[in-house]
Every structure is written in C-alpha cells, then in structure tokens.
Structure 1
Amino acid sequence: MKSGHDAVRQLRYSPAVGSSHGVEVIDFAALREMDTHRRRVLPQRPDFHVLALIVTGTGGHEADFHTYRLAEGSAVWIRPGMVHRWSDIDACDGPLVLFRPGFLAGFTTAEAGAPVCWRLAGQRLPLALLAAEHLGREHDATVRDPHLGSPALLAHLLAALLLRVLPDASDRTDAPVRTGAVPAGDRSAAVFRAYRAAVEEHFTEWHHVADYARALGYDARTLARATRAATGTSAKAFLDRRILLEAKRLLAHTDLPVTGCARRLGFGDAGNFSTFFRRQAATPPAAWRAAYGTAGARGA
C-alpha cells in the first residue's frame, strides 16, 4: 500500500481544565501517569513546545533521527513539528513546560539556534528549577482563580526560564549553537523571523531564496545576512535543511513512495528529488528509508 499513511502520532495542544493561557507545567511523573499505555515510546509529532529538565534519574530520548542520553542536568527542547519519542524516561524526574507556538514570538531566533538536548552545568540547573517552579506556581494560581490570570506575567516567567536554560559554550553536547533572544527592535531579528515563518509555510512550494525575498519585500542579501546572524548558516542552507528534514520524516515515517515524497515536497520529478536528497544527506532516499523507516513500507 502506497497511500502516504503516517506512522507518527500527531499531538495537539490540549491544556488542562482552567489552563487557557497557552502554557502549563507538569512533570515526568504526571506524564507517566497520563500515559498508561506507554505511547510515549512511539514516534509522535507535537504542535507545541516541550521544555524538559532532568532533576534525577537517567533515560533516553530520540528526536529527528538523533539519540540523546538523559541524566541529571539534561535539558530537552522539543519544537512543534519535531518527530520524537521518549524512549526511556521511567526513572526520570523533573518539570516539563508545555507552551503554544507564538507564545514567545520574540524568541524565534533563540529557538532556531538551540539544540534539542544539552546539559546545564554548575548552578544553572538549580536556578532553572527555581524559574520553572515560579512559572508553575503562577500557572497553578491562575487555574485555581482565573481572576489572577495574566498571560503577560506567564510569558515573562517563561522568557526568564528560557534565558536561564539556553545553552552557552560550556553546555554544548551537540552541534555549536548561537543563543540568546535578539531584542525585538533588532531589524535583523525581525527579518529572520519573517523568513523563518515564510519557509515553514512555503518550503514545499518555494525552493529558492529569491522566492522568499520577493514575497517578503527584501532582497536576497538582506535575508542572507539576517539568517547568518541568527543561525550561523546561509539563507539557502537554512531552506535546504528544512526541506531535507521533512524529506527524512516522510521517508522514515510514512509509506509514501519516493515519487510521492517528491511531489509532497514540490519537486517536479523523483530524479530531481533524489539528486537533492543524495547531495544533502550523502545517501540515496531508498537507503535512508531502509535504515530509518518505521512505517513498514519501503516503496521507491
């Protein structure tokens, strides 16, 4: 069967009763209690952010074809659309902060540069836990008494938590990152935010930076400078990386044939798609599917 069936569970943001402001705080114990059928160990794709801190225990997490070992001091940031699974969190404890996309729009730059998993060194973890506890207490107060609710206050507390946990050079456990939220008035940050949003909306249609420049009213050099300042890569590389990631997800987690993946991603024919994939991933699409596929189909 080549229907394009998705083997990944789609998770929609579903806040607890009374939690209507787009952010909430739970913990790993609550996650395990809610997930008695252990669906957390299967691939899932949330439409919201999850920021997790490991206080005690060890475990494992997988996100977009990378495996991470979790231990005391680990921080995990799962972004909307990311395919991930909690492969082993039975012994982990610590807070998980769930929040909607756009709740902190000004952190788009920091989000783009942050890794999935890193370790908080020294006093970073206890200070981060204080920030998470403050956010959790304010959230709980809002649930108990809606008149106390303040989206602006919750947003500021979440921003403080992210500023506390975002990695610096001493925290890196994977690829180098650029960190820190660029001030909202920084034009370069605004340009990148617009480009990133446009890429997310149109990457299956537009494969050239010039398309985005025309649509956004900037020249290609402006997009290039803003993207490099935010991510350390070129605008073209940022775009190609997004297309490649979705290609990997389709090949691994659906039963679409390669021709279907090519069409889904806006390529005129399977040959062009295969050339792009081989150039970017250093392996043919069929080989990637054979190595990482979970949907049960291996059509090419």
Structure 2
Amino acid sequence: MENGHDPVRQLRYLPAIGASYGVEVLDFRALRSMDTRRRRVRPQRPDFHVLALISSGTGAHEADFRSYRLAEGSAVWIRPGMVHRWSDVEACEGPLILFRTGFLTGFSAAEAAVAACWQLDRQRLDLALLAAEHLAREHDAAVRSPRLASPALLSHLLAALILRALPATAEPAEAPRADARSTEVFRAYRAAVEEHFTDRHHVGEYAQALGYDVRTLTRATRAAAGIAAKAFLDQRILLEAKRLLAHTDLPVGSCARRLGFRDTGNFTTFFRRQTEMPPTTWRTEYGAPASRDH
C-alpha cells in the first residue's frame, strides 16, 4: 500500500501475555522502549482504541489528515480504523490505554462528537490521571493475581476514565441532548454504517435493515452527533475515500469500486460534492504522486 508516502501499518490488538482482558495500560515511556525502530512515526491503522493523556512534555500527532500539537493536558483518542502516527512523542509522558471495540459497554453516544485530540485544564487533567492510575493498578493486579481479575470492573474503570477525560463540549451545543432511546438507535446505526458503508449508500437501506424509519435515524443521529443521518453516512464514505487516495496507489476507479460506486463518474461526483474538488486533485494537493488512473 504505497504511493510515495509511507505504507500504512495495520495494527492488531495483541495484548501482553497474561493481560488478555480487552484492555491494557501502557505509557509513552514504555512505547518508546518497545519501539526502538521508531515505527510509531510512520502511518498506522489500529483495529482497537487508544486513549492517551499527556501529563508532561510536548510533541505532535497526526490523525486522518489533521495535525495536532501535544502539550501538558492534551488528550488523544484514536478510534479503530483511524490512520494516525505519533509524529513526535520523544518528550511526552503519560498513560496510554489500549482497548478492544466492545470492551466499553453501556457508554453514551457523546464520543461520536469528540475530536481525535483536545485539551484538558489542570484540574480535569489531574482527575483523569487519577482515574488512569486506578485503572492501571487494577489491571496490574489482574495480571499478577488472576483470581482478582474482573473484566467488568476494568470496563467500569475505563468508562469512568473516559467520562472524566471527555471535553466539556463532547456533545454539540446546538444539538438536542440524546435520550436513552435515541442513543440506542444511533449506536445501532453507527455500527451498521461502519459495517456496510461500502455497499449501502442510502439511509433508507439502513432504516429497513434496522427496523426504523428514516426520520427516526435522522433524529437520533442529529441528537447524538449533531448532523443528519445522510451527512453522517457521507462523511464516513468520504473519510475512507481520502484514506485510500492518500495511503494507497490504487487508481481512482479502483477506489470507487472498493467503496461501492457503480463507476468512477459517480464517485468523482460524490467526492467533488463533498470537497469541492475531484479526487485526483485532492490526491495531488495532499502530496501523493499521480496514480495509474484508468
């Protein structure tokens, strides 16, 4: 998967021996120690979540075509499928929490509106670091003494940490607060989009498959994510299109087919409508060399 940029490394969740509880607690010091070849600075795409807190130091991070400066109080949440790289974390300290999709249960839809990186004030950072330390201690106890292991406890501590670390603006101010029913509907829609966005491009298809009408999906998505169901779906397709264009040497026509478009023309129309430029132009402006577009 090369086009002049570094190839994207696919990362699978592989916990340390004895630590297979669906969550693992590391820190930046351990990351640097394990990664002597500095693969962290090259693009990678994990199939798990990474939550990081910067307790001290400065650095840089990139996630899905956006660059972020890291400093004391920075929080980073890398979701499964994101293409990211730790551009510079040589001076960063703080915890790194890795966890599988599905390990965090019963969580609200607020995380859908959270950026890949945000800033915590000193008080919120201190409380988040305490929550991370509690999770780390319980995880260490589970590894050292399996009879004390409690995945349910670890899941609750992870949820507490994320709730403590979420920015105050996790839910859009202009969007109505999602009730339990809307949250349930949105979570089902979001999961279905993630599974089928390459072959279902119409909200009506998801509504039929999930047993809701389109208006219900739209209300739930707007309440949880601040945008309509169609816009949410289009954004997911567009993000994957950008990933393919930036991190592979696939011709535009092949990208179109991978994303479920009938032909290159339809894909180009969609991409232009979303970005105001054709995919070949976006690929060039991003910095990748011209591909074999045929």
For residue 298 of structure 1, what is the amino acid of its counterpart? S
SS in 2 for 1:215: helix
Large movers: runs of 4+ above 6 Å: none
Structure 2 counterpart of 1:199: 193
In structure 2, C-alpha distance between the alignment counterparts of 1:2 and 1:38, rounded to whole Å? 19
* Structure 1 counterpart SS, 2:106: helix
Structure 1 residue 298: deviation in Å? Answer: 2.1
Give CA deviations for 1:169-211 in whole Å, capped at 9, x if unaligned. Answer: 4xx8xx96799x967xx11111111101110111000100000
- Please state how far the C-alpha of 1:281 moved relative to its aligned partner: 1.3
- CA deviations on 1:252-282 (whole Å, 9 max, x unpaired) are 0011100000000000110110010011012
Asked if 1:299 corresponds to 2:254, the answer is no
The residue matched to 1:118 in structure 2 has which SS?
strand
Fraction of identical pairs, as percent: 72
Counterpart in the other structure of 1:166: 166
Instruction: Indicate how the Cα distance of structure 1 residues 177 and 282 shifts in structure 2: closer, same or farther if over 3 A, else same.
Output: farther
Does residue 249 (structure 1) correspond to residue 243 (structure 2)? The answer is yes
In the alignment, which residue of structure 1 is the partner of 2:282? 288
Distance 1:204 1:148 in 2: 43
Query: How far is the alpha carbon of 1:107 from its aligned partner?
Result: 2.5
What is the Cα deviation at residue 121 of structure 1? 1.1
CA spacing shift, 1:198–1:44, aligned 2, 3 Å: same
Unaligned stretches of 5+ in structure 1? none
Mapped partners of 1:270, 1:156: distance in 2: 46
1:71 corresponds to 2:82: no
Given that residues 251 and 285 in structure 1 are in contact (C-alpha distance below 8 angstroms), is that contact kept between their aligned partners in structure 2? yes
SS in 2 for 1:76: strand
Match of 1:10, SS?
A: strand
Q: Is the 8 A contact 1:178 1:231 kept in 2?
A: no
Note the C-alpha offset of 1:6: 9.4
Residue 48 of structure 1: how far off its partner (Å): 0.4
Counterpart of 1:53?
Answer: 53
Q: Is the 8 A contact 2:104 2:159 kept in 1?
A: yes
Instruction: Give 2:138's aligned residue.
Output: 138
Count of aligned residue pairs for this structure pair: 291
1:21 aligns with 2:11: no
Aligned to 2:226: 232
* TM-score normalized by the length of structure 2: 0.94
Match of 2:240, as an amino acid?
E
Is the contact between residue 199 and residue 259 of structure 2 (CA under 8 Å) also seen in structure 1? yes
Q: Please give the alpha-carbon distance, in whole angstroms, between the structure 1 residues aligned to 2:132 and 2:146.
A: 20
Q: 1:218 aligns with which of 203, 212, 215?
A: 212
- Contact preservation (8 Å) 1:107, 1:182: no
- 8 Å CA contact retained: 1:114, 1:177: no
| Residues in 2 aligned to 1:39 and 1:267: alpha-carbon distance in whole angstroms | 34
CA distance change for structure 1 residues 66 and 142 in 2, over 3 Å: closer, same or farther? same
Q: In structure 2, how many angstroms separate the alpha carbons of the residues matched to 1:242 and 1:51?
A: 21
Q: 1:58 to 1:177 in 2, by over 3 A?
A: farther
Q: What are the superposed Cα offsets for residues 57-102 of structure 1, whole Å, 9 maximum, x if unpaired?
A: 1000000000000000000000000000000000000000100001
**1:115 is aligned with what amino acid?**
A
Q: Residue 187 in 1 paired to residue 199 in 2?
A: no
Residues 1:147 and 1:203: Cα distance change in structure 2 (over 3 Å): same
Secondary structure in 1 matching 2:129: helix
Amino acid aligned to 2:56: T
User: Is the Cα–Cα contact under 8 Å of residues 280 and 290 in structure 2 kept in the other structure?
Assistant: no
What is the deviation of 1:292? Answer: 2.5
Moved more, 275-284 or 106-115: 106-115
Q: Which secondary structure state, in structure 1, belongs to the residue aligned with residue 81 of structure 2?
A: coil
CA RMSD across the alignment: 2.3
CA contact (8 A) 1:12 1:46 kept: yes
Q: For 2:6 and 2:125, how far apart are their aligned partners in 1?
A: 37
